[in-house]
């Protein structure tokens, strides 16, 4: 593992540990530790935090794909060069709903829409 990769991995670990501390603070404020909670409650809260991180990461990844897309794409049906626009839609991932921004093109010759990044 190169030095830069190790630095990023350490930063990621530090941030994840901080997120865990924030989650515990919120659980404490909600009274979760006034008695001994069942482990499934702790697990459920941790899973919820993981799903939230997953949705945020997926949104960010989709924005990266959209940002690096070209301004035109050839229609897969007829080969006509078509302009690309960005479109928002919500998809359901394993972690829940994620708002995506994705490139979409419309071919005036075929009168069809297509997704160049797909």
- Domain residue spans in the chain? 3-114
pTM metric for this prediction: 0.78
Write down the pLDDT at residue 65. 87
Q: For the residues of 14-27, what is the DSSP string, one character each?
A: HHHHHHHHHHHHHH
pLDDT (tens digit, 9 = 90+) per residue, 36-57? 999 999 999 999 999 999 999 9
- Stretch among 23-27, 44-48, 67-71, 108-112 having the lowest mean pLDDT: 67-71
pLDDT (tens digit, 9 = 90+) per residue, 53-100? 999 999 999 999 888 989 999 999 999 999 999 999 999 999 999 999
65's torsion region: left (phi>0), alpha (psi -120 to 50) or beta?
alpha
Q: Is pLDDT at 118 greater than 70 in this prediction?
A: no
């Amino acid at each position: 593992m190169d030095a830069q990769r190790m630095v990023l991995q350490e930063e990621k670990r530090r941030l994840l540990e901080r997120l865990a501390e924030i989650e515990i603070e919120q659980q404490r404020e909600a009274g979760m530790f006034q008695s001994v909670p069942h482990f499934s409650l702790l697990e459920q809260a941790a899973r919820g935090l993981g799903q939230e991180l997953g949705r945020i990461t997926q949104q960010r990844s989709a924005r990266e794909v959209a940002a690096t897309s070209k301004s035109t794409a050839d229609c897969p049906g007829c080969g006509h060069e078509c302009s690309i626009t960005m479109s928002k839609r919500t998809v359901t991932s394993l972690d829940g709903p994620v708002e995506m921004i994705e490139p979409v093109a419309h071919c005036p010759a075929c009168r069809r829409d297509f997704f160049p990044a797909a």
